[in-house]
Amino acid sequence: MGRTLADKVYDAHVVRSAEGEPDVLYIDLHLIHEVTSPQAFDGLRMADRTVRRPDLTIATEDHNVPTTDILAPIADPVSRTQVETLRKNCAEFGVRLHPMGDAGQGIVHVIGPQLGLTQPGMTVVCGDSHTSTHGAFGALAFGIGTSEVEHVLATQTLSQRRPKMMAVTVDGELPYGVTAKDLILAIITKIGTGGGQGHVIEYRGEAIRSLSMEGRMTVCNMSIEAGARAGMIAPDETTFAYLEGRPHAPSGADWEAAKEYWRSLRTDDDATFDKEVVIDASELTPFVTWGTNPGQGAPLSASVPDPASFEDPTRRAAAERALEYMGLTAGTSLRDVAVDTVFVGSCTNGRIEDLRAVAEVIKGRKVADGVRMLVVPGSMKVKAQAEEEGLNEVFKAAGAEWREAGCSMCLGMNPDQLKPGERSASTSNRNFEGRQGKGGRTHLVSPAVAAATAVTGRLSAPADL
């Protein structure tokens, strides 16, 4: 019987399998950041263990880092201690680190692909749920907890069971003005936050094939918001073109050998999935969230839903609670929802293409009075490229703040936070209660919608301008 893409990558990494036991799965790349690693390194020390493959491990500072004054010591002593702990651990165990101020620093899921370290057919893990991003290259990539971070550090493997397989096929073409972010928000609303649970999602179909690597990363990034630990897209010429010439991509004869293998990484015609969903891309429009989980979304043209319209009592109760937290009234047009802050950035939408999309909309326009707009590049390399293209000048001329690289307001572990009751349009991935700051209210949007919203001060698409 045929195998799926995920099956093929999984099978190629099984070190040992035995009846009734989980498999021992080899990990090709382990990404580390300051938040979920300190207790894992402590565990190694307590057990007198070493890092088995520091040469397959790379660290960066991202969650805590301030996006201003990055050459000064971090003002928050607790954040500073955490970052310093990472530095000490990397020095002690011989792990390559991109610290604040380094040209290679950035969000862990932005720097892996940028360096060419993320390649088709690899297994990639990180103590961060958005590791699913790397699946855009046809890698099997998923988030792990700190116990598993320690396990990978010590053994370069994980104890795993073969996941179930789910296909999300997106037929047709995305209409003009509809982006990868709109697509994944619509998928999550359709299948729910538990829809992909226990599964690896493979995104397939014409609309997926047409996406750039940046767009594919945005889609795979939010697989976890649909409950799936991993999302994958079969590698193709778009993938190869992105990878060619990157610092850690194969070259010469290796490049040809690698490509030959990568071309075999596709789901066989006779393979079967445990679950399948089909979506018609041509019906999609700009999409935003109105609630406090990423499955509570709607087209921008819709209104805030009436909780009574949900038949399922659990969903109805969740909607009632969400509207109360979000300070929204059922029936309000989403286009009438006014925001205080617009955040552009994160591992979902902090790459160069995202910044270009924002600049295209905001060029020659102004951020609305009373609205604060933060543009936070996903990495220092993205920042440098944006500045080379003059995007920073476009943002600044419009009245937006141009910042240094990091996770920033996606989760507010640094000073970039919403105040209680403040409302944001955010290109990040989670609209959970308090995610961007205690009491903050988040609407998840695409970069283009974020830019248009900054101009009008209300949730808007570029076509509204």
Nearer CB in complex with other proteins: 143/406: 143
d(C-alpha 264, C-alpha 262), whole Å: 5
Distance CA 142, CA 124 (A): 7
Residue number with CB closer to other proteins (64 or 456): 64
Q: Which is nearer to other proteins, 99 or 143 (CB)?
A: 143
Q: Tell me if 348 sits within 8 A of 218, measured CB to CB.
A: yes
Minimum distance of other proteins from residue 95's CB (angstroms): 8
Question: 66-93 burial string, b = 16+ CB within 10 Å, else e?
Answer: bbeebeeebeeeebeebbebbeebbeeb
**At its nearest, how many Å lie between other proteins and the CB of residue 139?**
11
For the bound state, the minimum distance from the C-beta of residue 377 to other proteins, rounded and expressed in Å, comes to: 21
User: Nearest CA to 160 among 142, 173, 134, 174?
Assistant: 142
Closer to other proteins by CB, 317 or 463: give it.
317
Spatial contact of 300 and 334, defined as CB atoms under 8 Å apart: yes
- The CA-based diameter of the chain, rounded to the nearest angstrom, is 64
Letter for the amino acid at 266? R
* Closest separation in Å from C-beta 130 to other proteins: 9
Tell me how many degrees the CA angle 163-7-144 measures, rounded to the nearest 5. 45
Encoding tokens for residue 464?
């509204």
Asked if residue 404 lies in contact with residue 375, where contact means CB atoms within 8 angstroms, the answer is: no
**Looking at beta carbons only, is 54 or 299 nearer to other proteins?**
54
- Residue 372 corresponds to which tokens in the numbers above? 């604060």
Q: In the complex with other proteins, which residue's Cβ is closer, 39 or 212? A: 39
- Measured from the CB of residue 199, what is the shortest distance to other proteins in angstroms? 9
